[in-house]
């Protein structure tokens, strides 16, 4: 069962609708109505020791970076909805090999990044495990109702843009050090030009396919336009390495030029990398030769198992 199927299963088992749930499970966040003009965003994400970061051994990552990553992953989900983060609740299940000193540094990593993004901790729980170290964080944020960005909504002819760079997240330690694109997501959402948005956690190709599936479209992907995180990266790395935590955003093509010209984040590129097209299946084709790209061969689904090359 993939994460996508997990959420589909959850939704399928729920009876009836709840009009207060404006965006149901399956997007980057769920959205609840806080009032006529405001939505509350909620999402949960986890980090598992020696899966999402190195907990043990000579390569062990600083615990503060592990905590930082836990919050940052959740902030990226808020960013993908065009929202502003506000509060977090954290649950830690600590393994027998790590003590309060480790925990304190882990929490400080959350709190320090929280201070940058104006996120306040409002709850927590602690447990001990037999062997593993698992932590989850629930993020709470807001977004104006008329600005919320979902995975569905892209139209044929819409342009696909990406923030930042792709690939090599593990070896560059980007997966621990990344800056969630909250300001960028808010700016895009406020522009009124966004028709769909998602953050790239499991690989550009897999997350682009999710946009296609939610919107009922195909995508022509200009793989040569994708900015590599480091020089000389192969296409498959940019498409499949994952943990980029960049935004993929579908823009009204008539407004794309204006968006590009006004883009205020000089240190983060906004690059056109594709065009949505009508399609019976959520197919991504390479623009240069029209060949279909297979999302199942690339892309990282955290639920399928540890990737061959190391920790994600």
Residues in contact with its own copies by the rule CB under 8 A:
1, 3, 6-7, 9-11, 13-15, 18, 21, 24-25, 29-30, 32, 34-35, 42-46, 48, 50-52, 87, 89-91, 93, 95, 100, 103-104, 107-108, 111, 115, 120-132, 134, 136, 138, 140, 302-306
**Which is closer to its own copies, CB of 229 or CB of 312?**
312
Cβ at position 189, least distance to its own copies in Å: 20
Cβ at position 87, least distance to its own copies in Å: 7
Cβ at position 120, least distance to its own copies in Å: 6
Rounded Cα gap, residues 293 and 223, in angstroms: 10
CB 221 within 8 A of CB 162: no
**Which is closer to its own copies, CB of 140 or CB of 220?**
140
Q: Which of 184, 196, 182 is nearest to 264 (CA)?
A: 184
Q: Report residue 196 CA to chain centroid gap.
A: 14
**Which is closer to its own copies, CB of 244 or CB of 301?**
301
**Which is closer to its own copies, CB of 7 or CB of 268?**
7
Rounded Cα gap, residues 292 and 294, in angstroms: 6
Identify the burial level of 287 via C-beta atoms within 10 angstroms of its C-beta, where 0-12 means exposed, 13-18 middle and 19 or more buried. Answer: middle
Cβ at position 94, least distance to its own copies in Å: 8
Helix (H, G, I), strand (E, B) or coil at 244: coil
Rg, the chain, Cα only: 19
Cβ at position 14, least distance to its own copies in Å: 6
**Which is closer to its own copies, CB of 102 or CB of 178?**
102
What token pair was written down for 47? Answer: 């980090």
């Amino acid at each position: 069962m993939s994460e996508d199927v997990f959420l589909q299963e959850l939704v399928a088992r729920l009876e009836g609708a709840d009009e207060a749930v404006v965006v149901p499970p399956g997007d980057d966040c769920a959205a609840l109505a806080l009032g006529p003009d405001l939505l509350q965003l909620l999402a949960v994400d986890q980090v598992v020791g020696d899966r999402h970061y190195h907990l043990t051994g000579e390569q062990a990552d600083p615990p503060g970076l592990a905590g930082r990553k836990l919050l940052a992953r959740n902030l990226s989900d808020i960013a993908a909805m065009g929202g502003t983060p506000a509060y977090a609740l954290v649950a830690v299940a600590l393994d027998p090999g790590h003590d309060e000193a480790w925990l304190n540094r882990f929490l400080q990593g959350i709190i320090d990044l929280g201070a940058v993004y104006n996120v306040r901790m409002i709850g927590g729980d602690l447990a001990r495990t037999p062997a593993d170290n698992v932590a989850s964080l629930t993020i709470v944020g807001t977004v104006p109702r008329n600005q919320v960005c979902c995975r569905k909504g892209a139209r044929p002819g819409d342009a696909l843009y990406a923030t930042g760079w792709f690939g090599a997240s593990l070896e560059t330690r980007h997966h621990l050090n990344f800056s969630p694109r909250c300001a960028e997501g808010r700016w895009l959402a406020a522009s009124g030009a966004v028709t769909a948005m998602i953050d790239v956690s499991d690989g550009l190709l897999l997350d682009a396919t999710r946009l296609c599936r939610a919107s009922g479209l195909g995508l022509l992907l200009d793989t040569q336009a994708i900015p590599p995180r480091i020089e000389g990266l192969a296409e498959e790395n940019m498409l499949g390495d994952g943990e980029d935590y960049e935004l993929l955003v579908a823009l009204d093509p008539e407004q794309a030029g204006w968006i590009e010209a006004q883009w205020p984040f000089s240190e983060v590129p906004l690059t056109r990398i594709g065009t949505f097209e009508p399609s019976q299946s959520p197919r991504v084709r390479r623009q240069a030769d029209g060949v279909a790209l297979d999302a199942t061969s690339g892309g990282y689904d955290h639920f399928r198992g540890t990737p061959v090359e190391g920790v994600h």
